[in-house]
């Protein structure tokens, strides 16, 4: 799940939290959307995008983080920019 | 003897592409990444082309699709929802392939030629060479350049080294194919086999480049675990604690409130 690690590291820097916590947040978002039994390496670009736009956003709102819209937009841009890791890191 | 050397390289090219294709079929089904389908087809069409040439002497229709598949793979792996030259490359490639198709219906050109050209056929042969060269230049370099571009952007990031190596293998091997685009023009037009030294050297060079591409992609896509372990030997992996949902949320709350 290299893309989760990659985006988690970026999110950790942005929120000034530990990378493990940021990765945990992304995984919680995935679980919120797909349930606990979804195999992570079957997630594609659109799945990650939707998770960030909805579930990760909801979690950030629960955490009362400021500037959520900007963070989500920046995270989506990072996903779009580094989308090849989904394929090259999973095959 | 010279033919034998070329044939051995062709067998390596054929075998490595077929194995890569089978592996990608299995992985595509398993991980359901649809962008792998065009890449799988690319590695399917190339060996199929050789089988068809051997069996029926022509691969006219199959020949049209492999480079197009490579461009589609590049788009849907690197450039979803991003600006790219995809449509220009795709339309140009389709035009080139249609011209190639029509030209070959009238004169069955190949590299090397398997018949003696008549003088009126010579200009058409050069058109064929330009088309063959363009087929390469409109597909492989794009994949090669973007793979290396993204390699350089993750080079210093905390990404497993075997993945970085995969980017490099795909990038460099695709760029090697550019050389073939130029080598086609070095083939003498008055000869039609590998059996003389000069066409043999040119043919050997083309075949070596193609074989390097195939073997590099075989290693890149079907990287054995021992090689991944070796490439990762100095890499400290991340091992996440098994935290519950509440623990993760509380941890973030604590860290953001500090």
How many contacts, defined by CB atoms under 8 Å, are there between A and B? 102
Between these two residues, B151 and B197, which has the higher pLDDT value? B151
Q: What percent of chain A has pLDDT over 70?
A: 100
Chain A residues with CB within 8 Å of chain B CB: 2, 5-6, 9, 15-25, 28, 31, 39, 41-42, 44-45, 59, 62-63, 65, 80-91
pLDDT of residue B145: 98
- pTM comes to 0.93
Between CA B141 and CA B173 the distance in angstroms is 10
Would you place residue B192 in the very low, low, confident or very high pLDDT band (cuts 50, 70, 90)? low
Number of domains observed in the structure of chain B: 1
Does pLDDT of B178 surpass 90? yes
Cβ neighbours for B66, distance < 8 A, ≥ 6 positions apart: B41, B42, B45, B46, B49
A28: containing domain: 2-90
CATH number at residue B53: 1.20.1070
Does pLDDT of B57 surpass 90? no
- Closest partner CB to B248 (pick from A24, A44, A80): A24
Cβ neighbours for A63, distance < 8 A, ≥ 6 positions apart: B249, B252, B253, B256
Exposure of A82 in the CB half-sphere (CA atoms within 13 A): 26
Report in angstroms the alpha-carbon separations of B157 from A5, A79, B82, B147, B235: 11, 15, 22, 15, 12
- Closest partner CB to B78 (pick from A6, A42, A84): A84
pLDDT of residue B198: 85
B163 contact A CB<8A: yes
Give contacts of A84 with chain B, Cβ < 8 Å.
77-78, 146-147, 150, 167
Does pLDDT of B208 surpass 70? yes
Between CA B201 and CA B229 the distance in angstroms is 38
B56: containing domain: 2-256
**Is A20's CB within 8 Å of B240's CB?**
yes
**Length of chain A, please?**
91
pLDDT of residue B190: 75
- Closest partner CB to A91 (pick from B154, B221, B253): B221
Number of domains observed in the structure of chain A: 1
Between CA B218 and CA B21 the distance in angstroms is 9
pLDDT of residue B193: 66
B154 contact A CB<8A: yes
């Amino acid at each position: 799940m290299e893309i989760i690690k990659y985006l988690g590291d970026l999110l950790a820097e942005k929120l000034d939290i530990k990378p493990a916590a940021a990765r945990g947040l992304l995984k919680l978002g995935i679980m919120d959307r797909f349930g606990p039994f979804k195999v992570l390496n079957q997630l594609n670009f659109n799945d990650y995008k939707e998770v960030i736009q909805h579930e990760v956003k909801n979690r950030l709102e629960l955490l009362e983080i400021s500037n959520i819209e900007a963070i989500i937009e920046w995270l989506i841009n990072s996903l779009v920019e580094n989308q090849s890791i989904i394929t090259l890191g999973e095959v | 003897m010279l033919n034998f050397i070329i044939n051995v390289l062709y067998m390596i090219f054929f075998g490595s592409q077929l194995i890569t294709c089978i592996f990608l079929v299995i992985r595509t089904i398993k991980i359901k990444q649809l962008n792998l389908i065009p890449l799988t087809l690319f590695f399917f069409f190339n060996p199929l082309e050789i089988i068809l040439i051997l069996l029926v002497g022509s691969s006219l229709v199959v020949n049209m699709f492999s480079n197009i598949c490579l461009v589609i793979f590049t788009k849907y792996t690197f450039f979803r929802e991003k600006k790219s030259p995809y449509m220009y490359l795709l339309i140009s490639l389709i035009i080139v392939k249609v011209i190639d198709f029509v030209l070959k219906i009238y004169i069955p050109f190949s590299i090397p030629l398997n018949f003696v050209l008549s003088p009126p056929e010579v200009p058409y042969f050069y058109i064929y060479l330009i088309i063959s060269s363009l087929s390469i230049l409109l597909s492989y370099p794009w994949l090669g350049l973007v793979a290396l571009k993204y390699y350089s952007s993750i080079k210093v990031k905390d990404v497993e080294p075997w993945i970085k190596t995969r980017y490099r293998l795909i990038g460099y091997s695709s760029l090697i194919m550019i050389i073939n685009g130029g080598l086609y023009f070095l083939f003498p037009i008055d000869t039609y086999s590998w059996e003389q030294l000069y066409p043999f050297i040119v043919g050997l060079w083309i075949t070596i480049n193609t074989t390097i591409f195939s073997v590099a992609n075989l290693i890149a896509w079907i990287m054995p675990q021992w090689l991944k372990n070796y490439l990762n030997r100095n890499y400290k992996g991340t091992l996440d604690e098994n935290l519950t949902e509440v623990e993760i949320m509380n941890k973030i709350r604590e860290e953001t409130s500090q």
